[in-house]
Structure formats: structure tokens, C-alpha cells
Chains A and B, each alone.
Chain A
């Protein structure tokens, strides 16, 4: 039996490696041999002083780029123009792979694991090809590798354009040491949680927005009671996303690299000034054991029992759709909402009533938000140099970026007299995910955003404070078994507790015991150990 298995395995390996070779030769015929880019790049090195390699490389290369969130059914018009332009500039043909929400995860991960000949991948802190883990496992090229510094050679322009916080957030410990493994997109990179207030309804009951601004979660009771009484049994004034609500009330934030445990680890920020340390200093905590958490859960339970919170909010499969629907139809008084610039105006227009956003903290940048959308070059790419040149051009050239993102002017959009883009019907057939492509500040503003939109944008996001532990990412490799068990514990307790669906005095002790039994303390200790050495390396 053993022998048979051994034979089968060997056969499999041999055939598999043959396949691997076949693949290798197959793609070399299409492009340059694997070794050429390194040697070929020496010719380009000579003119790096001029910042961009203006000289068009001699050999032609096809670049494949795997994107997230696309809704593209017809890209011929766009690609024709894009490739005309790229051919002239970089001697490159671009072949985008239009991944969609949901399919991208599976597709990109398989493609990466199988080392397919895709050059550039979308990556970030929340897809399955998660930036930190995949950089650590060697899937992405280190762009500032001292041995072959692609950024130095071809990507300096990007560094000049991007805010410093972004670079800081993307500099991590990867397979080739501490460095940058992907080019950040520049989109809504800061976090700010707000109370989303239905102002029309608020006014109907004689309150003003100041009443909300003055109050906090624990003193919403009177307002909620009055509105509930007035609007009837089927109306739930508090429209919440459980986990987000808890973070807003207690000023805890999630720790990057912790998604594997369903975000059990917490860091506390300073709600007044986010660049300062919070109440617990630079420590990572098991927040569920704190008194704040118990207090929060008790209050939430009270609101739940009084009928202020929709029981659907405790249903993980349904909560978000119901929440979105109720926001849209105004079936709420106070909601939770993560903010992006100009959202209150957009929301008021969409929902047809006045919406106000009352922030609970200033805007801040943490590791997770800075890694919201990125482009990484695969280590399996045969042409990493050209890929970097392309990324540099894409993120700095308004013509190219707009073409790829909005489509062709005159077909997919037109510019109005103040320079805003107005989409045509043809745009429905070509809708990449705008924020997933890179530096969105290169785009013309969209209709209604105003001509000076990007100035406001840069002022808001470019000046957002960084939290003291920006750039820190937890590496869970040493505690992966604990993580597996804890992720299940989190799924069992967090949402019901944070929405008030269960009794905290009974469930929290049970929850804490289970966390303890499944190694929470070990994880917290490991996280703090890593955090201290991170802070030490940063000179903090």
C-alpha cells in the first residue's frame, strides 16, 4: 500500500513539474526569458536620474493584472486606447482580468498559489489574498528590495504623490525583510466613525442635531424613548452594526493581521487626539474583559429589550442588507456609519431627507485603513520591472488612469463645463471598481462633487492623524491553532452581545471563560510582545 502511494506521489510530482516546465516555456515564447528583465534593466538604470524611464524599452511585454470588484462586460474600446498608449510609452500590452466581488477571492488566491503568469494583483487588508500574510508567504515582490529596488528605479513618482502615512502603512515585515510589498491606492484612507442621524425625524420630535452632539450613547435613552413611542412598534430608532457600535462607544479599534481570529484583539485610541495614546497606552487588550465592555453590553441590552434595536441586527447574514435598506428609507433615528468625505451630502440626496453625520473621533489612519486598496507584483511575474513601470505610470498619469477607470471620453463619460465627469449609458458596460485601481485623485471629479473636490479630499485625508501604532501588523503564525479556535468563539458571542440579543450578565462570563480556555491570553501576550518590538524599532 505504502509503495503504491509512494509511486503515485512520485508520478504526480514528476508530471506536475513537467507541467510547470511546460508553462515556463510557454510564456517565455510570448515574452522575454525570465532572466532578461534583470539584465535588461541595467540599460534603464543608467537613466533613472531622469526619474521616469522615458526611453521605451525595446522588447514587447504583455502584463496581466487581476482586479477586484469589476463590472465590465465590454472593454474593447478602452483597451484599444489603453494599449495604444502603453505601447508607445512602455512597449506593453495590458490584459486586465476583471475579477468581481466574491469571485476575486477564490480566483486570485488559486492563481497566486498556483503561481500563474499574472503580473499584478489587487490586494488589501480585507480580501483573501490579504496583503500582510501573502507578503510574508512570499507571493509579492518586495518593491524596495535593496538588491533590486524597483521603486528607486521606476517608481519614484508614486512616492512623491502619495501621502507619507500610506507608505508607512504599507511598509511591513515580509518574506524579503521589512519593506514595501505593494503600491498603495489613494482613496478614502482614513477612518472616522459617525452617528448617522435622520435629521428630519429628529426635528419632528423637537430635537436638534446639537442634542445628539451633546449626548453620548449612554444618554440617548430619552430621545430614543420619545421617538419609539411616537413611531410605533415596528420602528426601531437605533440602527446599528454591532461590532462597529462597540468600537465607537468604547474607542477600541481592530488590530491589523487579526482578521483570522475574527478581530478579537483590540487597541484603544484617544478619541480627542488620535495621534496620542489612548486610555490603555500602547497595549493590545482582550477588551471583552474590560468594565467598559460590560457597561456597553448592559446598555445595549436595555435598548434592545425596550425595542430600540431591530432583532435583525443580530442576524449576521441579514443585518447589513436590512441596515442599508432602512438607511435608504429613513426607518431609523440614529445609526452607525463609517464615514467618507462628503457622505452626508451624497446620503441626503440618495435618501431624500436630511442626513447629518456626527463623528465620535477625528479622522485617523490605522494600518487596516491605509491598506484598503493596493497593487502588488507577483513573485511569479516574468516582468516585474515592466510591471513597476506600468504601476508608476498608471498612478501618476491622469490620462491613463482616467481612461482605465472611467473609460473613453465621449463614449463612457463626458466632461461638463466645470470639468466634472458625467457618465453616459455606455458606462454600464464598463465599470471597474473606481477605488480599487489606484490613485483616484488623478480623476476628474464626478458630477455633483464640485470642481475643487480633490483639494478638499487631499486636505481631509492627507492631514488625517496617524495612530501611534500605524504600520503594526500582528503575525499570528505562532498562535494559529489558538486563532482557529478563537475565531469560532468570536463568531459565537460577539454579535449577539454587541446587539443586545442576549443577556450580558449571563453570557459575558461564559464568553470570557471560553476565551481563556482557548488561549486568548497567549494570543494577547504574543501580540504585545510583537507590538513592543515594533515600537522599539520605530524608536517609540
Chain B
């Protein structure tokens, strides 16, 4: 109740109450729709395999079961090793990647940078054209030795041209050019300007790119599939995708593998197990979300204008 009163006081500088209600309904409604499939995932993960077998994926399984979670916890050390790997790779990868991204994007943002056009094109071109999987794989593995080590999970994803261009655009919208000029006149060094002046006022953009980078690393399994053979380097997402890939392959080829395929398929983790792994993967990253969100949704409501 009191909250509404406070709102009323500030109403002048804000959208009208009916408009706000409509906004809340629209955005809130969409947000609810977005979470629905994840709830579905949770339901499947608690469904018994028997129920999935009989009535398929359903919001109301015939029978609930915690077998999938039991199985995941019984995996023992591999689960925690993979958790650690995902955490480690995501953190280290994001830190390095973000630093490289900001440095590059800042140079591109500087209109007085002599080679600005060249370097913009240089990074943009790779967004479209690449040599394909086999040549990249050979370079990574044979030239750079990315094989069965953490570097193999980090290095190939360090640069994302899209993020660099987005970061440059963020800088363009949030940093007034006069600021650079002023800093330059003050005789501030380039690195000094970037770290002391630019970064603090570009937090929303940086946090956004950081978030997207973290997610990229956290969700990645393809690099693990290509470069990792030792289970001690498996990230969490790869545990899930391995099970998924195995199932897909056996399903697709069951007629050629023959009778055995059915049996092999049955030995694999079932759907409820895979869905419980999805839960294990999504929950930590969702928990990390608010950390980045702080900078993205800032106090741009009326309070900041008033203050």
C-alpha cells in the first residue's frame, strides 16, 4: 500500500498508473511464457522413465520420481570435476576474452585512430568468412597444441567478432566524444583514459558482453567434443551433449546397427536424466545472472533524476 503512495508522488516524472499496469502485464506475461518450458524441463526431470515411455513428455506425468537426480549424484566425482571445469573455463575465459574485446572495441571506437577502418573490416570479415571446421581444427590442434588441456576449451572461443562490434556500439552510445578530447588535452595516456574514464561509464555495455561471453563458455560443448578426450577435462555441458548425441545417433542408425541398438539405447541415460542435467546446468548460470544484471538494469528510474 505504502509503495503505491510513493509511486503516486513521483507519478509526474513517470508513465501513468494504467500505462504501468499494462506494461507490467505485458512484460510480466512474456516473462512467464519464457519460464514455462524450463518448468517443463523440471517436470520431465522428476518424471519416471516409465511415465515418459507410456505417455511421452507431459506436464502431468503418471508417476513422479527422483531417480534421475539420484543417478546424477551417483555419478560422483565426474559431476563435480565437470562443474569445476565449467566454472574455471567460464571465469578465466571470460576475463581474458572481455579484456581483449574491450581493448579492441575501444580502439575501433576512437575516431582518431589512424587504422580504424582497416581493423573494423579485419574483425568484421571473420564474422562472415571462415575456413571451415577441418582447417580450423588442424590449426588449433597441430599448430597450437590445443588438445586435452584447458586452453583447448578457452582459446578457440576467446574472440567473438559480434561482441566486439556490439561493444563498440555500446561505447558510441554511452561515451561522449568530448570526454576523450578532454582527457587527451589533460595528457592522460591511452590506457589510463580507457581504464580510469571509459570503463567506469560503460559498465552496462561491458556487463552485457561479459554476460554473453560467460554464457557462451558455460554452454559450450563443441570445443570439448573436438579437442578433449580425457574425462577430467569434460565441462558439464559436454556430459549432457554426449548423452544426447549418443541417443540421437543410435536412434538414427538403429536399423543398420540392428538388434543391438535397442539394447545400447536402453543403457544410455534416459530423458529424465538428461533433463536433470539441464537443470544442473541452468541453475548456476541463472544464479550468476544478478551479478551482471546489477550493471544492466541500473537506477535509471526517477530516483536518479531526482537525486
Contact = CB atoms under 8 A, between A and B. Distances in A.
Report A-B touching, CB under 8 Å. yes
Interface of A: 12, 15-16, 19-20, 22-23, 69, 71, 73, 97-98, 100-103, 105-107, 110, 113-114, 116, 125-126, 188, 241, 243-244, 317, 320-321, 324-325, 327-329, 337-340, 343, 346, 368, 372, 433, 435
Given A102-B242, A327-B262, A97 B253 contact: no
Contacts of A188: 258-259
Given A19-B139, A73-B231, A101-B264, A340 B134 contact: no
17 contacts: A16-B138, A19-B142, A19-B143, A102-B245, A103-B245, A107-B225, A113-B134, A114-B138, A116-B142, A125-B256, A244-B255, A320-B251, A324-B254, A328-B53, A338-B255, A338-B258, A338-B259
Interface in B40-65: 53-54
B248 A102 contact: yes
Contacts of A20: 142
Interface residues of B, number: 39
Contact of A325 (B53, B229, B259, B260): B53
A23 B245 contact: no
Residue from A101, A125, A338 with most neighbouring chain B CB atoms (10 Å): A101
B246 interface: yes
Given A22-B142, A101-B264, A102-B245, A110 B137 contact: yes
Nearest to A431: B267
B226 interface: yes
Given A12-B131, A19-B143, A324-B254, 10 more contacts: A16-B139, A98-B229, A101-B245, A106-B226, A114-B137, A116-B142, A188-B259, A325-B53, A338-B258, A343-B259
B246 A100 contact: yes
A243 B141 CA distance: 41
Contacts of A23: 142
Contact of B260 (A113, A328, A340): A340
B19 to A, nearest CB: 45
A325 B53 CA distance: 6
A69 B257 CA distance: 11
Contacts of B142: 19-20, 22-23, 114, 116
B256 A103 contact: no
Contacts of B229: 97-98
A337 B138 contact: no
A20 B138 CA distance: 9
Contacts of A100: 242, 245-246
A184 B54 CA distance: 40
Nearest to A117: B142
Nearest to A104: B249
Contacts of A243: 255
B133 interface: yes
- Top 10 A-B residue pairs of the complex, sorted by shortest distance between their CB atoms: A102-B245, A102-B249, A126-B256, A101-B246, A325-B53, A101-B249, A114-B138, A19-B143, A340-B259, A320-B251
A188 B226 CA distance: 32
B72 to A, nearest CB: 16
Nearest to B137: A110
Given A110-B133, A324-B266, A340 B248 contact: no
Contacts of B53: 325, 328-329
Nearest to A97: B229
A103 B134 CA distance: 15
Nearest to B231: A73
Contacts of A69: 264
B61 to A, nearest CB: 15
B258 A126 contact: no
A69 B231 CA distance: 16
B257 A126 contact: yes
B90 to A, nearest CB: 22
A241 B256 contact: no
Given A22-B143, A337-B259, A101 B250 contact: yes
A343 B263 CA distance: 12
A327 B135 CA distance: 45
